[in-house]
Structure formats: C-alpha cells, structure tokens
Structure 1
Amino acid sequence: MSSNGGTAILGAGLFATEAHLPALVKLGPAAPPLKAVYSRSESSAQKLAAAAATALHVAPGVYHDGDTSANLDALLKRSDITSVILVLPIAHQPGVIVKALAAGKHVLSEKPVAKDVAEGAKLLATFESQYKPKDLVWRVAENFEAEPGFQAAGKAIRDGKIGKVMFFNMSVVNYIDKKSKWYNTPWRTVPDYQGGFVLDGGVHSTAALRVTLQSPLTYLSGFASLNKDYLKPHDTVNAVLKAADGSHGMFELTFAAPTQSRTGNTMTVTGNSGWLSVSHATVEDASTGSQTPVIRVTIKSITEVDGKAGVEKEEVVDEPVRGVEIELKSFFAAIGGADDGLGNPAEALKDVAIIQAALNSKGQPIDLEKLISQQ
C-alpha cells in the first residue's frame, strides 16, 4: 500500500481522534503511512499529531491556518501525500474536497456528502466531469453503510430469508443534552446547515435503510419539529417512505428524547415469509470479560410444509462494529484499482435527499428521485 504514497487527515475533531486514527491502527500495513495532519487551529493539530505518534509510532507533519508556510495549501503541495481523509465541519468540506482534488489528491470525505442536495449534486457533477477522468478517487465515508451488520441484513433479504419485503420501520431515538461531547463542538452548537443533528446524524440511519432494504426509496411524506431550543433548527422528523418495489414504512428520528431511558436504535423489516430486526448490542467475552459493540441481526423465517406455515426458525448474526475501518480499507483499495462500491457519492446524495425531504415535506409527498435529478 505504501507504493500509493502517504495519506493525511484534515480535521482534528472528536471523530478524527476517536474513530479514524484507531481505524488506521487496525489496518496496519493495509493503510498508507500517515504523513500529515491539518486543523484550522495549531493546538488541535498538535494534539492529533501527538495522538498519532502514540498510536501509529509516526511523527506526522503539523499543518494549520496560523502559518502560511504550513497551512492546508502547503500540505496539498506535498508529492509524498497522495490521499487525504476529510473530517471537517459539514459546511467547510465541499470547498476542501475540490481543493484537494485540484491538487491531485484522492479524497475520502466524512458524511454527509454536502449540506443539501443542490450542493451535493453540484459537487458530484464537478467530480464526474473534471476529476474522475483523471483517475482520481472520491469516496464519502459513511460508516453505517460499511457496517457488516447492515450488510448482513441486506444479504438476508437478497437471499430471500424473509420473502418479499412488505413493510419496514426505522426508529432512532437519541438523547442529547448540553453536556454531550457531540453537542459541545462549536460548529454543531450553532449549525450553518439544514437540520442540525438531524442531518449530521440522520444520514447514518438513511444509509442503513439504503443498504438493508436494497430497493431504492422513492417517495416521502413527513413532518419535522424542534422540541429543545438548543438543538436548532430541528431535532425530530417522522416520515412515511415508499420504495421502488412497492414496500413502505416508517422513519422515526429524534435527538430530543426526554431521558436516556427513552433512547434506542432499531430497524425491523417484515416480509411475506418472515422478518428481521437490526439493533445495537454488546457482547461480553466469557473468558476475558471484555465487551465488544456489535450490530445484531435477528432473522425469523417461516417455510411452508404441505401448504401450511411451518415452524418459525431463528438466526442471530452478531457483527462487531467496525464500519470506519472498513470504509478506510475500501477507499485505499479503490485507489489501487479494486473498487467494491462503498462510499459512492451518488448513493450518499440519496441519504441527504431523504433528510432534506423529511425536513421540508410538511406532510406533502416528495418524489426523492426528482429532488435529486432537478438539481
């Protein structure tokens, strides 16, 4: 992998430190060496560099906006850096994506693809016309799409284990107070993009629906509201969705749960010969006592015997949570010419379209395909 050059992390916030850096550690030689880190502030860049030195045993270059000789432009001029991982605030990412591509770098940018459908579509068109022909790779880091648990749920449906999908439900209830580390990020506290947490976190849920259901979601009707003033502009959406295969379902998403006890994240998909559920769980190792976060897929199947419903069979699949590691591995493999399709910006745009439609529907049906195509 080192023959593809080095990589750099642009952005030194929580997710860069707590997710991307550990993922690079797990990938080991499957990832290119970390050559540099960048943040708008020198202190945060130094902090990430120190964490990288401890975890990866490297000394990445430190770049920040306070020094013109060591700013983002200077980093992008380095010929030994061929790819960048963007973990920047939502509104800032599109400009940096284009700047990095223009500098000849392969780009993995954190979800969402952009703050809205119009900007995402414009960004995708720019990439397709100007940079894809130069064999540059741009992928969107959506770890729920990459999670083996959601992939396993999708495979169970493709394999016919629950029959034809009839209806589905996605319920994601989060509790965010002012003490949350995710709330206490300046760009999240005063968001300059639609939906606030509903967009930032909601695209995880829409991506999970996308890879599980298989059939594209085509129509949405819903309502949005704000229930906790500090979570402006919206903190809750409830919507009805229809898929191309005729199935339909409910999408419940909120960050305004009154207490921690009300929280939960569960998807159920019901077919004509069974059903499955997808939830988050923790598995404890009996010998070591260590705990591993997993995505648990429970599949209930019924087969007919002599024209009558037989015994219900249960299959439980526990997949360790490792979406960030997988999306990084997929990105680096794509640079090398082995593209497995993960992180496709056009698919990530569909995730934003669902959230945007839910925020703006006010009960009126919205054609999701038209929302994207009209941009």
Structure 2
Amino acid sequence: MAPTGIAILGAGIFAKEAHLPAIAALGSDIASLNAVYSRSIGSASQLAKDAQETLKLTEAPSVYHDGDESANLDVLLARSDIQAVVVVLPITLQPAIVLKALAAGKHVLSEKPVAPDVSKGLALIMEYTESYKAKALIWRIAENWEVEPGYHAAAKIISSGKIGKLTSFNVRAVGHVPKDSKWYKTPWRTVPDYQGGFLLDGGVHTIAALRVMLPSPMVSLSGYASLNMEHLPPHDTLNTTVRSADGSHGIVEMSFGAPVPSRAQEAKNGISITGTEGWLWIENTKSEAGVQVIRITTKRVVRNEKGEDVGEEQDVVEERSCGVEKELRSFFAAVGGNDDGFGTPSGALKDVAWIQAALTSNGNPVDLANLVQQ
C-alpha cells in the first residue's frame, strides 16, 4: 500500500519537536509529508527545512501560508496527493481548520484538546457526525497520553486484579512555567483566549491518562481553581476531589503555577492508584539509560498459606514514552481501514469536560456525564 500523503498545519514547537521525529520513526512507507502550512511564511519555511533534515528528504515539503493567495491553505487542501492533515495550531483556531479540512475531503488528526470548551466540542462533533463521518472521513484527536504504552501497562495490572479492588487514587501534576519558558513565550499562550490556560492545554493529558487506567469512569467532581502566578491567566492551579462510578474516589492536584522549580521537581509528581491488595505508583521519568519512560511500580501484600499478611512485594515495569508515534501510527491505520478505537473526539471531550468542571465547580459537585451530554 502506498504511503498516506499528508500535510502538517501549524509550525510551532510541538510540530517540530514531536511530530516530525514521530513521522520519521514511522518511516516513509507509512506517511509522506508533502506540504506544511503556517500563518506566516517564515515559520512555514523553517518547518519545511526542519522536515527535510529530520525526514532525510531529497526536497523540502511545499510551503503554504496566509500571505499569498496562490499558496494559502485552500490551495494546499485542493491537492490530490494529500489525503490527510495533522493540525497543530492554537486551540481556538483548530475547530474551524478541522471543518475546512474535512470539507475538502481530507482525513484529520488534530492536536488536543478537541475544542476550547464543552459546548464548542459538542457542536464540532455533531457537525462531523452529521456531515463527514458517513463519507468515511476519519477525524481523530492527537492525545498522546491516551496511547502511551506505560498507561496501558498500568491499566492491565489493575484489571488483572493484582492490587485487588480499586479503592482510591491520587494525582500530583505540578509544573513551573517561568516567563522565559519556550512554552510560555508562544504568542497564543501568552494571552490565552480560552478557559484554563495551561490547565486546559496541558491538563487534558493527565485526565486522559486517568481515563485509560481507571477501570470505571469518573462521574462527579468538586474543586477549586485559582491564579497564583500573574503571568499565567486565567487560572494556573486546581485542586479537586473526584468520584468514579464504581465508588472509588481520588484527589487531583494540578498546577502550572509552582513559584520555583523545586516545587515541581521535588514534590513527587505522579499518580498513585490504590486497591484492597496493593497499589501502583506511575511516574514520567528517565531510565538508567537516559530514555524517557513511564515507570510503573507495583507493591502488593504477600500472604502465607494461612492467608496472613506477611509483608509486601514489588514489581517495576518501564515503557518507553512514544505516544506521538503511537497516535500517528494508529491514525494512519484507521485511514487504511483498521480503526483501533483510540483518539475519538468523544473521548477527548470527556477530558475537556473534566477540566471545565474543575475550573467552574467552586466547591460544588459537577456531574461529568451530564456535562458532555448538554
């Protein structure tokens, strides 16, 4: 089968540092990067040069931008050698571009979140379902934590009963984002015109990981949100209590407003999941070889032949972090007719709903299922 001809729409940090290496890892027999687009010619041209180097292309992909009507996005989408697009644009711009690409008959993989808020996400999903899904066009959300092998390994440990019946979970996801951070200096993040700021942009990752690992969906949330660092509006911190449908419950601390790096580095970021027979500790870290991994440490009770508790045992599993590569491979497989069910817009909408609920709860319980059905 010939490779899928693709274009990358957006030329920011993540397109360069994550998507290009992932496409290279897949190989030219799966995808052929034929074009890149950005609003400015400078950023589009730079991404094309980076793509030529990373993908070892004989020629750079064609460059499209908003400054020339003969080389704008509409012209790119009219190309017959481009079957799919990867959308890596600012959050508020993505919905319109997703619909434009679908209307042009292209399959779409758009970066998380699915939309800036629940109402816009519901409207976008409805339009896709009514106008494009029946035409066999694939639209997926690029939520790389949803497909990370480490989180799926943790989910298998839990579902196997190794730690017994799940009772509770605890999440600490704290980051320090100074004004000189490359992520903060991205213009659209500096003055966010969407709810939650970094909490929406980055927080959906953590919620997607929980969605994969927990055996029962989260159904109710109560929490508070605040702004602690003035340069990170409208909110940078949230603390919540959460209940799942099976009765298990948890605490989620999420912040991008740590005042100093040590608050993020030394306060043990990670996810603990506890059952009646043991618990898991899941963390993003580096292996002894310096490779970025998700490490799952399982500790469970040991019983003697009489069933008496005589101590505990430990197992450690590490999975290389490769979510962007996984989501791209999965997307191209779906384009080819082999859909594994990951990256659904409805699944990604649950992550947005969770963040939205945490931002607006103000201590009152929010029904998460009802929120995505509005």
**TM-score normalised by L of structure 2:** 0.96
User: How far does residue 314 in structure 1 lie from its aligned partner after superposition?
Assistant: 1.1
Q: Distance in 2 between matches of 1:169 and 1:2?
A: 46
Give 5+ residue unaligned stretches, structure 1: 286-290
Q: Distance in 1 between matches of 2:71 and 2:8?
A: 14
Residue equivalent to 2:361: 361
CA distance in 2, matches of 1:187, 1:109: 17
Shift of 1:307: 2.6
Q: What's the RMSD between the two structures over aligned residues?
A: 1.1
Q: Secondary structure at the match of 1:284?
A: coil
- What's the CA shift for 1:2? 2.5
Residue 308 of structure 1 deviates from its aligned partner by 1.7
DSSP 3-state at the match of 2:279: strand
2:328 corresponds in structure 1 to 328
Q: Deviations over 1:161-214 (max 9, x none)?
A: 111110000100100000000000000000010000010010011001110113
* Whole-Å separation in 1 of the counterparts to 2:303 and 2:344: 39
Alpha-carbon distance between aligned partners in 2 of 1:299 and 1:31, rounded to the nearest angstrom: 36
Take 1:240 and 1:274, find their aligned partners in 2: how far apart are those partners? 21
* Deviates most, 194-203 or 276-285: 276-285
Could you tell me which residue of structure 1 aligns to residue 14 of structure 2?
15
For residues 137 and 231 of structure 1, the distance between their equivalents in structure 2, rounded to whole angstroms, comes to 35
- Residues of 1 paired with 2:278 and 2:184: CA distance? 39
Q: Describe the superposition over 1:231-264 as per-residue Cα deviations: whole angstroms up to 9, x where unpaired.
A: 0000000000111111000010001111111115
Distance in structure 1 (CA, Å) of the matches to 2:315 and 2:128: 42
Q: Quick one: which amino acid aligns to residue 274 of structure 2?
A: T
The aligned counterpart of 1:299 is 298
**Residue of structure 2 in register with 1:288 after alignment:** none
Determine the structure 2 residue equivalent to 1:175: 176
Cα deviation for residue 55 of structure 1 reads 1.3
CA distance in 1, matches of 2:202, 2:338: 29
1:30 CA drift (Å): 5.0
1:2 and 1:33 in contact (8 A); partners too: no
1:26 aligned onto 2:25: yes
What is aligned with 2:352?
A: 352
Take 1:9 and 1:265, find their aligned partners in 2: how far apart are those partners? 33
> Within 5 Å, which residues of 2 pair with 1:84-233?
84-233=85-234
Instruction: Please state how far the C-alpha of 1:303 moved relative to its aligned partner.
Output: 4.6
Counterparts of 1:2 and 1:55, CA distance in 2: 21
CA distance in 2, matches of 1:296, 1:307: 30
Q: Is the 8 A contact 1:30 1:329 kept in 2?
A: no
Q: Secondary structure at the match of 1:220?
A: strand
Partner amino acid for 1:37? V
Residue identity in the other structure for 1:298:
T
* CA offset digits 1:51-72 (Å, max 9, x no partner): 0111113321100000101100
Summarize deviations over 1:329-352 as a string: whole Å, max 9, x none. 000001111111111111100000
- Aligned residue identity for 2:44: A
User: Is contact 2:6-2:84 (8 Å) kept?
Assistant: yes
Which sits farther off after the overlay, 223-232 or 50-59?
Answer: 50-59
Q: How far is the alpha carbon of 1:160 from its aligned partner? A: 1.0
Structure 2: distance between partners of 1:89 and 1:149: 28
Distance 1:284 1:165 in 2: 31
- CA drift at 1:302: 2.2
Give the match for residue 39 of structure 2: 40
Tell me the secondary structure at the aligned position of residue 140 of structure 2.
strand
The alpha carbon displacement at 1:29 in A equals 3.4
For the residues of structure 2 that align with 1:215 and 1:7, how far apart are their CA atoms?
37
Q: Which amino acid aligns with 1:20?
A: H
1:280 aligns with 2:284: yes
Distance across 2 between alignment mates of 1:325 and 1:89: 21
Q: How far off its partner does 1:284 sit?
A: 3.0
Task: Give how far 1:151 is off.
Answer: 1.0
5+ long unaligned stretches in structure 2: none
1:49 matched to 2:48? The reply is yes
Determine if contact 1:237/1:252 at 8 Å carries over to the other structure: yes
Identity %: 57
Partner SS for 1:229: coil
- TM-score (structure 1 length as normaliser): 0.96
Counterparts of 1:36 and 1:252, CA distance in 2? 41
Give the partner amino acid of 1:284: E
* In structure 2, distance between residues paired with 1:300 and 1:115: 39
Distance 2:215 2:331 in 1: 22
User: Take 1:26 and 1:53, find their aligned partners in 2: how far apart are those partners?
Assistant: 14
Runs of 4+ in 1 over 6 A off after TM superposition: none
Contact 1:226–1:234 (CA under 8 A) maintained in structure 2: yes
